[in-house]
Structure 1
Amino acid sequence: WQTGRGTWYGPPLGTGTNTGACGYGELEGTPYDSNIVAIGSESFNDGLGCGACFEVRCVNDTNCREEPTTVVVVTDECPECPADQLDFSGTAFESLAIEGQGDALRAKGIISIEYRRKSCDFAANITFEVVPGSNEFWIAFLVKYVPGYGALQSVEVQSSGSNTWENAAHLWGAVWQIDGPLTTPTSVRVTTVGGEVATCVLTGITSWSPGET
């Protein structure tokens, strides 16, 4: 466990921001359920920290429950936060509290916490979403719901019928880019910062048009 401090931002029972700097989109429903955090710029690393999961508990706080711990996902950047600070959504911050004491905990603003990396276990498959601005020759896509270590260190793409894996470039947040055209069905191989590798055949993406998943 590492010691640090916890803060919160956004609406008291909200998701911090609507989408966060990772670009994941809706954060209120499954699998995030608003249990998200923003981290400092060094750890966020231009978005390469997106998707990491942390297990968190309070330290010596009468408004906090001891067990179970809370699991949160990195979906946003907190530029002013030091490396040991997690900035929670209002909902995630309340999840640390004893039932009925969420408002009292939020009123403190800053609390002492302990946190550690935890394997992500999303109630969803790895998802690839073609983002606006993409075309046949310049394709950008969002990667989310990566299990295990969560945060990615590389993404590779292979057109149907090819034996070559091409490295995608990291653009921002959880968005990666590859030059086209690509032959479908396309395969994508993701490698997490922890060295875990997953290969997906994207049968749902037939033309790499914006909005396809």
Structure 2
Amino acid sequence: MAYEVPLQALLGLVTLIFPPLVADVVHASTAWRLATKLLGDDGHDIHTVARTHNRPRFGGGPWKHAHATFYEGGPGTFGGACGYEDVIKEGYGLDTAALSEALFNKGLSCGACYEIKCVDNPQWCKPGQPTLAVTATNNCPPNWNQPSDNGGWCNPPREHFDIAKPSFIKIAEYKAGIVPVMYRRVPCLKKGGIKFTITGNPYFNQVLVWNVGGAGDVTGMQVKGSKKLKWTTMKRLWGQKWETDAKMVGESLTFRVRASDGRYSTSWHVAPSNWQFGQTFEGKNFR
């Protein structure tokens, strides 16, 4: 004889057999708020999220026209406007770019990935028209003292990439100075999980979010503690640094980030209750 088992019972059974360790990916819909609860060994609630809405993975965007130049620097300078302190240690490498104001979106584009190729300039474009995948890690500010077509390359409304020199020379000769390019958004392929670096002090908590896969750019963030701290929306300080004056010290922390494609990733209890400022914790990444 066949029996119908209620969905809630099945979810409860799966939860008991496979308790969540640190994270889950939540898709953008009202369903992402629905969670079941377990009582952990420490007496705190552990949540698992029912994934009832399958939002498509980030698929990139269409090819568009822009221009590109290059700038020199090092691992500690290529990520300044986004809050990244060392693009090498943080996994971005030197395949990075500073975005003009039109693309930078006041810092919300930090972490987004682009495919770029040099076009329409056989003299300076590398043979075979190779493509370059870069991550947005910095801002190319306007230069109002120069016209947009002669030095003020990053002035609005121009869409422009100022690429780290080691990467620029993969697609064009550096003597060109500036070259026409085509670009498109592409999914970010990252190793490991989303990283959360906590800095600041007990009265001004800052969290740098980095190594984000999928769309790559985080447009919203929340934090929740294991005791008194309820879900709290964090404010963007600049780039991908987020802050709150809520009391986080002494609680196990859960972070929820929202990417520009509308998907959510929730890293449950990723930081233990004895976390310290300056530490970095790893959650589950977008796929």
State the TM bucket, normalised to the shorter chain. 0.7 to 0.9
* CA distance 1:197–1:8, shift in 2 (3 Å): same
Query: Corresponding residue for 2:260?
Result: 193
Distance 1:186 1:162 in 2: 11
Distance 1:166 1:19 in 2: 27
On the 8 A contact 2:112/2:136 being kept in 1, the answer is yes
- Alignment equivalent of 1:108, drawn from 150, 163, 176: 176
Query: Corresponding residue for 2:236?
Result: 170
- Alignment equivalent of 1:7, drawn from 69, 86, 93: 69
- Which shifted more, 162-171 or 119-128? 162-171
Is 1:85 the counterpart of 2:152 in the alignment?
no
Distance 1:59 1:84 in 2: 15
Taking structure 2 as the reference length, the TM-score comes to 0.64
Distance 1:184 1:16 in 2: 32
Residue type at the aligned position of 1:74: A
Residue type at the aligned position of 2:162: D
Tell me which structure has the larger Cα radius of gyration: 2
- Which shifted more, 149-158 or 29-38? 29-38
Query: Corresponding residue for 1:71?
Result: 133
* CA distance 1:27–1:162, shift in 2 (3 Å): same
Query: Corresponding residue for 1:54?
Result: 114
Residue type at the aligned position of 1:187: T
After the TM superposition, which parts of structure 1 deviate over 3 Å for at least 4 consecutive aligned residues? 65-68, 161-164, 202-209
Unaligned ranges ≥5, structure 2? 1-62, 143-153, 281-287
Taking structure 1 as the reference length, the TM-score comes to 0.85
Q: What does the per-residue CA deviation read over 1:57-93, in whole Å, with 9 as the maximum and x for residues that have no partner?
A: 1113334244652110011000121431111000110
* CA distance 1:16–1:106, shift in 2 (3 Å): farther
Note the C-alpha offset of 1:146: 1.1
Distance 2:226 2:277 in 1: 20
Note the C-alpha offset of 1:9: 0.6
On the 8 A contact 1:56/1:69 being kept in 2, the answer is yes
On the 8 A contact 2:168/2:174 being kept in 1, the answer is yes
Distance 2:194 2:240 in 1: 12
* CA distance 1:128–1:120, shift in 2 (3 Å): same
Give secondary structure in 2 for the equivalent of 1:203: strand
On the 8 A contact 2:77/2:85 being kept in 1, the answer is no
Note the C-alpha offset of 1:181: 1.7
Give secondary structure in 1 for the equivalent of 2:206: strand
Seq. identity, %? 31
Q: What does the per-residue CA deviation read over 1:91-113, in whole Å, with 9 as the maximum and x for residues that have no partner?
A: 1101224xxxxxxx101100010
Give secondary structure in 2 for the equivalent of 1:21: helix
On the 8 A contact 1:57/1:66 being kept in 2, the answer is no
Q: What does the per-residue CA deviation read over 1:35-74, in whole Å, with 9 as the maximum and x for residues that have no partner?
A: 0000112432332111011011111333424465211001
Unaligned ranges ≥5, structure 1? 98-104
Query: Corresponding residue for 1:128?
Result: 196
Note the C-alpha offset of 1:200: 1.0
Pairwise CA RMSD: 2.3
Note the C-alpha offset of 1:206: 4.1
Is 1:184 the counterpart of 2:244 in the alignment?
no
Distance 1:95 1:29 in 2: 22
